[in-house]
Structure formats: C-alpha cells, structure tokens
Amino acid sequence: MIMKKALTPLLATLAIQVMTALSMMAVPVLATNAAADVGISATYLGLFVALIYLGAMISSVAGGALVLRFGAIRVSQICLLLCAAGLAVAMLGQPVAMVFAALVIGCGYGPITPASSHVLAKNTPPHLTGLVFSLKQTGVPLGGALAGLLVPLLVIQAGWREALASVSATCVAIAALTQVVRLGLDGDREPGRRIDLVAVFAPLKLVLGDPPIRALALASVLYSAMQLCLMGYLVTYLVQDLTMSLVKAGIMLAIAQAGGVLGRIVWGTVADRWIRPQRMFGLLGLTMATGAAATALFSTAWPASALMLTVGLFGAAAIGWNGVMLAQVARLAPQGKAGLATGGTLFFTFFGVVAGPPLFGAIVGAGLGYPAAYLLLALPAFAAGLRFTFGR
C-alpha cells in the first residue's frame, strides 16, 4: 500500500485537484440555466471551455517557477483562490465577465498539476510513482462527476448564482484547510528565487532540451485532443447519427468517464509493476486510436453491450493516460525540477485540448461526418502509440 510519507501529500493534492476540476466544470454544467440571464446562447459553452484551457496553457508554464519560489501548497492555495474569484466574477452574469471569469479560472487550473507533481515526486517511493500520480489524477474526473451531481441540485434549490457562490466558498475553505499541511510540504521553497522571463520560460526550455520529455509532451498534444473529442462529441454523435436518446447517450459518456477513472488507477499500477512506463504510454495510444476507429464504425445494428464495451475501453485509454505520462515526466526530470518539467509538458497538453475540438468540429462541419473525424484523429495517436510501444 501507499507508504505513510506519500499519503498526506496525495490526499492534499487530490482534494485540491477535485476542487479545481469542479470549479472548471461548474459553469458548463449550469450553462443552459444561466444563458438567459447572461444574454447569450448556451452554444457559446465551447468558447468558455476553450478560454479556460487557454488560461491554463499559459499559466502552466509559469507554474514551475512559482512552485520553486513559493512552494507547491502555497501555489495551490493561490490557484484555489483564483478559481473562487473566477466563479465570483461569473456570478455577475455579463458576457464580458464570463470571458474574464474563464481566463481567471484557467489561470487557477494551470499550475495545479506542476505543483502536485513537485510535491508528490519528492514524497513518493519510486515503486509507487505511477500509482500515486494516477490516483491524484482521478481528481479530474471525480471533480467533473461532482459538478454534474451537485451543481444541478444547487441550481434547482437556490439558483445558478447561488450554486457558483457555493462552489467558490468551498474553494476558499479547501485553501484554508491545506494550510495545516503547508509547512511540512513547502519546506523546500526558495523565497529568494527570482521570477523573470528566463524563469517563466525555463519549463519550456527544459522540455524542448530533453528529448525523452519532449517526445512525451508532443505526444500529449495528440492524446489530449483525442480525450476532449471523446468527451465533447460522443453524445452528439450518438444522438445525431445513431438516433440514440439523450439519456442513453449520456449513459454512454458516463461509462467512458468511469472507464477513465478506473483506467488511471490500473494503468499507473501496471506501469509501476509490469510494463515499463514508456511502453505503457504507447499502448494507451494504440488503444485509444483503436477505440476511436471502433467508435467511427458504430451503427444502429450494434448491440448495446458492444457499444458500452467500446466506449468503456475508449475512455479507459483516452481519459486514463494522464497519470502514466505525468509520473514518467517526474521520473525523467532533473532532481528537484519535476514541477518545471510538468509545467512545460502541460503547455503542450493544453494546446491539444484547445486545438483538438475545433479541428474535430471543422471536419464534421465540412461534411465529412463524425466517423471520419474520429478516424482522422485516430491516425496521429496511433502513430505516437507505435513510436512509444516499439521505440527505444
């Protein structure tokens, strides 16, 4: 089992990850309820999410330098407060406020993973690295699941602004609670360390100058694009092309998400014990590409059990790969620079998140359809999978 030394930082970083993921998903979950008050169509939801990840892409680069100066937990506390502030701004219910809110929430979301990687890398035994990092990464789908379960209830009981206020207040509460563990986990901070442009871009320099980490970062662009296209378009594809009811299509997405949660834990354990991490990362690329190709072949003739099995395996790979990658980046990073390496890698990962869904939508909009879009995105992921599975 996880050694006691790793348990406290794991629980702290998991709670922070869950809360920031919940904050990121809160507005999208209640978008249809807030749209009339804001005065815009709920179809602009995609833009809101893209702005969040744009903010995250930019702030993740600075995350490593901030962690080294202020400490991982202090940076995480600031991130929670940024998420709280972004949600508070969203409560204003104005289009311009929504744009600003998305960017602020994104800036709060970006440095979270570099911070957690820094603290987990120095407190986790090597033989548990994959499992611990994967367990921490389950905070993303868990936060999304909590948003889907709790936010609608809060909207029904009190209203959408009150729902955002509740999530915002919880962010502040978690930030305060983590102060209990801060002194023990932030002991390696360097208060005198300068933060300038050289320090801010150090994560990118580290990643681009390290071939193994650079390869992981570039592959993460393809993997994250596939992940978001599965999560963002599966329901619409099933409803429009297979005439599936919205409820049944939602269940299919839930199965994919559940596969992702389970996959993050299983793949991390496998990478620790039986298959070297680089090869495990490659096998996940091959699996998600195969899942995308199988999804492209869906038809009304497929039995429900086959559809569920396919989306479950697709989700296990396309949503469950992150922990394996982050653990390997931490292993490859120079001593004490796991946060820097993670921040630089996530710049590329978030680029895939920002660019992938619009590209997918453009393929569909060009008249090629959802099956062609899934197949076209599967090809580069398959190529990356081959490189890591059989490369040295």
Q: How confident is the model at residue 300 (pLDDT cuts 50, 70, 90)?
A: very high
Residue 197 predicted with pLDDT over 70: yes
Task: Considering only CA atoms, give the Rg of the chain.
Answer: 20
What is the structure's pLDDT at 196? 79
DSSP symbols for 292-311 = HHHHHT--TTS-HHHHHHHH
Residue 240 predicted with pLDDT over 60: yes
The rounded distance, in Å, linking the Cα atoms of 116 and 137 is: 10
What is the structure's pLDDT at 63? 87
Q: How confident is the model at residue 231 (pLDDT cuts 50, 70, 90)?
A: confident
The rounded distance, in Å, linking the Cα atoms of 349 and 145 is: 22
CATH architecture assigned to 201-392:
Up-down Bundle (1.20)
What is the structure's pLDDT at 40? 78
CB atoms within 10 A of CB 124: 24
Domain parsing of the chain, residue ranges: 1-184, 201-392
Residue 316 predicted with pLDDT over 70: yes
Q: How confident is the model at residue 294 (pLDDT cuts 50, 70, 90)?
A: very high
- At 155-171, the pLDDT tens digits run 889 999 999 999 999 99
CATH number of 1-184: 1.20.1250.20
- At 361-388, the pLDDT tens digits run 889 889 999 999 999 999 999 999 999 9
Better-scored residue on pLDDT, 104 or 30: 104
Residue 324 predicted with pLDDT over 70: yes
Least confident of 35-49, 105-119, 145-159, 325-339: 35-49
What is the structure's pLDDT at 361? 86
- At 108-157, the pLDDT tens digits run 999 999 999 999 998 888 888 988 998 998 898 888 888 888 888 898 89
Q: What is the mean pLDDT of the chain?
A: 91
Q: Do the domains 1-184 and 201-392 sit in the same CATH topology, yes or no? A: yes
Please give the model's pTM, rounded to 2 decimal places.
Answer: 0.85
Which own/partner contact pairs does 273-279 have at CB distance under 8 Å and 24+ positions apart? Answer: 273/127, 277/130, 277/324, 277/327, 277/328, 277/331, 278/212, 278/328, 278/388, 278/391, 279/388, 279/389
Are the C-beta atoms of residues 250 and 137 closer than 8 Å to each other?
Answer: no
What is the structure's pLDDT at 188? 87
Q: How confident is the model at residue 183 (pLDDT cuts 50, 70, 90)?
A: confident
